[in-house]
Amino acid sequence: MTQRVDLATVMDRLAVDELITEYAVAVDDGDWETYRGLFGPGGRADYRSAGGIEGDAVEVAGWLARSMESFPMRQHLIVNRRIRFGSLEHDTGDTAHVQADYVNPMRFTGQDSGSTAPDFVCGGRYAFALVRTSEGWRVREVVVREKWRHSPDRQPTTP
């Protein structure tokens, strides 16, 4: 592999990492316009394992906006990112698959404002399918695989 190809791969990895970070920040900040803009044409999201819906980016952004009203405090962390590049129409590097774990502490609306502790925490794994577009890397599909959830006043559960 040449140095130029290595540099392109590093640049792609950085761009993919930035896209995944933007995804988390958009959800945490309730920036649904940015959230929708992270998806390419026909992009879809599947939140069914977390009790949500599956649909196109616009539909899922609407559902998330309504669902997240119950949680004014959220800090969504995406870690352990594993990136694999693929090809689209025989042009190496036009697709990427990312598996990444997440932990999502949140606080319910109306809870004791003196406390900063979360009321609800869940975790699992994302499976992102990405595609390179003229605007850069975009989400073609994201599947949420919630593995666990916990409320301090309840026992931990698995979905």
CATH of the domain at 115: 3.10.450.50
Distance from C-alpha of 128 to C-alpha of 46, rounded to nearest angstrom: 10
Identify the domain containing residue 95 by its residue range: 3-150
Q: Does residue 159 fall inside a structural domain?
A: no
The per-residue pLDDT string of the chain (159 residues; one tens digit each, 9 = 90 and over) reads 455 567 888 999 999 999 999 999 999 999 999 999 999 999 999 999 999 999 999 999 999 999 999 888 899 999 999 999 986 555 556 899 999 999 999 988 775 556 666 788 999 999 999 999 999 999 999 999 999 998 866 554 555
Q: What is the C-alpha R_g of the chain? A: 17
Q: Does residue 40 fall inside a structural domain?
A: yes
Q: Does residue 119 fall inside a structural domain?
A: yes
In the chain, how many domains are there? 1
Distance from C-alpha of 42 to C-alpha of 1, rounded to nearest angstrom: 34
Q: Does residue 9 fall inside a structural domain?
A: yes
pTM for this predicted structure: 0.86
Token output for 35:
């959230």
